[in-house]
Structure 1
């Protein structure tokens, strides 16, 4: 279990989710002694209408949103009992192609996931102790091997281990931020670090920084990231 590793174990006892439906656990578990909780679900496990769409059955958008609203209300109630609630957004299994090239049309899986996430984000937007994380970024970082059908059929584990490593890093960032741990100071050289070339020798007009140049653009992006573009 990637969440049962340092540095989280230094201060926290990690509790596994009990077996059983997520909705039932949210309703019945005792959260009073929990500092932070990660609720990472597959959409079909908490939104019945999504399973209907997978099976190519038509449902109304009202029914879909009613289920999303019910689920987000459970999350809000859970958040009132704990310190921090971390909720990765829903993702679509690429092996479920839905309507194929028409999957962004009505009742397509891709479109449905987008609409559900939009509703989820809006419903939880004003909750100060709920952190929504973009699970799609973790999947994109890993690439085509992020989903492993063998893991799913053998152990009902949808993602490759590398996806969970990406998730762990971001969850740890949330935990540290909640504890008030600030980022370390970044000390950098200037020449051949923030720009290409040596200012004292090459002159400012001959430095590589920006412009229509691959290295120049890379230096600009690096500078932007150092200034504040990277919050992870």
Structure 2
């Protein structure tokens, strides 16, 4: 069965790959044979993630970047192709979810930062990489969204709206870059990561889902590996919910 997730000879770029779900995906990609470019704003954490990739016998590159900024994304793409020569798998994982008590508390700066990192950045990165994937004849783009897009909470409404837009552009880009480039999305529910350390321990008991618990990072990686592998060749434009049956 491991052959279904064989990514030998592939190069992946993972944004927000230095921690949380992104870090778990980076490790899983390398374990399945992929070389991995890791990017986030934290250069030291990127280097740590790359060290894990190299310890698995794969090539890794740490390229720090702020993927909420248009010009930084252009520079990231040039640096990534200069380092690795190609990108076969792009995972748009970076995101943030700042909370405000009410909509009038949302400043223009915070609004732009939230939309920039959660939608504008993934849109621009997928656009640039998608065109190059078309030219090389194949590729897989994986966006990481949130169930907040369909279960929005008032204090996270702008974040939810940006993730909803990411769901929509997944289909748009699948149509634009197909048939040889696939574009899919993982709409993730709550997961235990370093970002969720502030959650109360009781959250596992009170979460309203069929699984009745919060997910573990390793429980999302197989969805990413499926979309990354050639065995998902007939799956594109899809938003896959991984949330433990959230209500």
Give TM class, smaller chain.
0.3 to 0.5
Q: TM-score, normalised by structure 2?
A: 0.44
Higher RCO (CA-CA < 8 Å; seq separation 6+): 2
Rg larger in 1 or in 2? 1
Q: Which has the higher strand share?
A: 2
Q: TM-score, normalised by structure 1?
A: 0.46
